[in-house]
Amino acid sequence: MSRTSRIAGAVIGMVALAGSLAACGGDSLEKEKGGSGSSAGGGKKGTLVVGSASFTESKVLAELYAQVLDDAGYSTSVTTVKNRELYEPSVEKGEIDVVPEYAATLAEFLNAKVNGADAEPVASGDVDATVSALKKLAEPLGLTVLPAGKAVDQNAFAVSKEFAEKNSLKTLSDLGKSKLKVKIAAGDECEERPFCAPGLKKTYGIDVTGIDPKGVGTPVSKQAVRDGKVQLVLTTTTDAVIDGLVFLEDDKKLQNADNVLPVLNTKDAGDPEIADALGRITAALTTEDLAELNRKVDAERAKPADVAKEYLESKNLIKK
Q: Is the pLDDT of residue 33 over 90?
A: no
81-90, 164-173, 288-297, 311-320: the lowest-pLDDT one = 81-90
User: What is the Cα 148 distance to its own chain's centre?
Assistant: 12
Beta-bridge mates of residue 49: 77
Q: What angle do CA 105, 108, 113 make, to 5 degrees?
A: 125
Backbone dihedral angles phi then psi of residue 289, each to the nearest 5 degrees? -60, -45
State pLDDT tens for residues 91-147.
Answer: 999 999 999 999 999 999 999 999 999 999 999 999 999 999 999 999 999 999 999
* pLDDT of amino acid 229: 96
Angstrom CA distances, 114 to 111, 119, 138, stand at: 5, 9, 10
User: What is the Cα 236 distance to its own chain's centre?
Assistant: 9
* pLDDT of amino acid 27: 35
Section 248-276 average pLDDT: 97
What is the rounded CA–CA span in Å between residue 241 and residue 220? Answer: 12
Angstrom CA distances, 19 to 101, 132, 188, 219, stand at: 17, 21, 12, 22
Query: In this structure, what is the dihedral angle of CA atoms 307, 308, 313, 317, given to the nearest 10 degrees?
Result: 160
* pLDDT of amino acid 240: 87
pTM above 0.85, yes or no: no
* pLDDT of amino acid 46: 93
Burial of 38 (0-12, 13-18, 19+ CB in 10 A): buried
Per DSSP bridges, beta strands 75-81 and 47-52 are parallel
pLDDT tier at 43 (50, 70, 90 boundaries)?
low
Angstrom CA distances, 198 to 3, 6, 66, 203, 266, stand at: 19, 20, 40, 8, 39
Cβ atoms of 195 and 254 closer than 8 Å: yes
State pLDDT tens for residues 183-235.
Answer: 999 999 999 989 999 999 999 999 999 999 999 999 999 999 999 999 999 99
Average pLDDT of the residues of the chain:
88
Query: In this structure, what is the dihedral angle of CA atoms 255, 261, 267, 273, given to the nearest 10 degrees?
Result: -160
